[in-house]
Every structure is written in structure tokens, then in C-alpha cells.
Amino acid sequence: MSKVAKVYFLIDAIFCLIIGAFLLIIPGRTLSLVGWVPFDPLMTRVVGAALLALGWGALRAWRASQYQKIAILVEVEFIFAALAGIGLLRHLIISYYPPIGWITFALLAVAAVAWGIIWLRRPRD
């Protein structure tokens, strides 16, 4: 596995585990802190759980030595970031959301590009 992929997996794991834990455990305080109110605590906790799962997968992939062991996770991360970004952008264009909405979209766009590059540069069998 490339060094770029290893570094990105570590960054992704740390980010997803921290944000996911906050969204799962204290969704109201977390989203109020960044100005995202009102919010749905049930769906926020589901997103937190999903981020924790992705973070755990990224942490496991960071420890892997062969691309074949992480191939499916790279595709899942790419699809998640791309679809979440597209879905979020639809709402950002139509309605007003606080700046954290645009920051979230930017992070998802960067993640989708990074995962796409890692996927396209995968070793061929």
C-alpha cells in the first residue's frame, strides 16, 4: 500500500473516530457548538455510529500492508464521501445553512477526491 494511502487512512480514522464519538454521545452539544441547530438527535446519532464504523475500518486499513486487504473499504469510503457530498450540496444550494454546512461539504469533497485518487492508483492484478 502506498504511503499516501497509509497517511490518509490514519487522518481519516482519527477524524471519523473523534467526530463520530461526539455525534453519537452528545449530538446536541456538538452541533450547537458549530451552529447547526435545529437538528434531529436520532439521525445525528446514526451518523455518529456510521462515522465510528468508518473510522474503525480506516484504523484497521492503516495497519494493513497490502492493498487487497483494503480495496473494498477504499471503494466504500469513496462512495460514502461522494454521495454524502452530493446530497448535502443539494440542500446547501436550495436553502440557508450555517457555515458548518459548507465546511462539511468541502471536507466531503476533499475526501471523495482523495479516496478516488487512492482507488485509481490501486495496484493492478
**pLDDT average per 10 residues of sequence, the chain (125 residues):** 89 96 95 87 95 96 92 95 96 91 95 95 82
Residues 6+ apart with CB under 8 A from 14: 55
8 A C-beta contact, residue 26 and residue 45: no
What are the φ and ψ backbone dihedral angles of 64, each rounded to 5 degrees?
-75, 155
Question: pTM of the entire structure?
Answer: 0.88
Give the Cα separation of 117 and 75 in Å (integer): 11
Domains of the chain by residue range? 3-120
Please give the pLDDT value at position 1: 78
